Structure 1
Amino acid sequence: MSALKRVQQWATFARIWHIYNAAWQNPFHSSELIKKYLMGMHKPIYHPMNDCGDHVIVINSADIALPGDEWKKRVYFHHTGYPGGATWTLAWNLHEKDPTMIIKKAVYNSMDGNLQRRRR
């Protein structure tokens, strides 16, 4: 096996770290791009039940931009698991509590709903 083929094979199977700058980006469009790298859809060996995705680091998630007046209209749902534990939070309020949570929820919702979604 030549050195070039060995490097190509290593790059295909290795987990690579990617950095994504989310400043002034729509989190729902960004989540589609991040999803491809987390699931490994950019690799030629991709299969939905194969865990071949890469690592993604999202920086500047506090500087995201939602279109229009979606800061006041978008509502996020959370349930604690206890009776009466359902809460609905507006986007601006959730962003004040934890600036990374909107990106996390957007990426989680864009992932396919199979059993491997929580691991990625």
Structure 2
Amino acid sequence: MTTQHLSGKVALIQGGSRGIGAAIVKRLAAEGAAVAFTYVSSAAKAKELQNSITGNGGKALAIKADSADAGAIRHAVSATVEAFGRLDILVNNAGVLAIAPLEDFKLEDFDQTLAINVRSVFIASQEAAKHMG
């Protein structure tokens, strides 16, 4: 049995529409948090997850936002605060993995990995901090 000890709290999960991110979204919602989460390409899965939470009496918001795009990350934070009035929890879950031998590894893949796995964490954390106590 899950307690509602996160009731009244608002969470934003980067990369929350599938896999580990979706599990985090479901868990936080089950514990009473209003959850906003980002997705890039799986709009149907994101909408399904949002509807499953709201259909069970929870609060959820799916936000299309590419974690490689600083403006999109900032928009996701502001959309969360606009929708739910606050932000208490940030989960930086978005990530990519590109694998290739060093001599074949493309600079574009390296840049994308840094943009999503490192830069987006900084941007989301910096933006979220403006709304957290």
Give the TM-score band, short-chain normalised: 0.3 to 0.5
TM-score using structure 1 length: 0.35
Structure with greater proportional helix content: 2
Structure of higher CA gyration radius: 1
TM-score using structure 2 length: 0.32
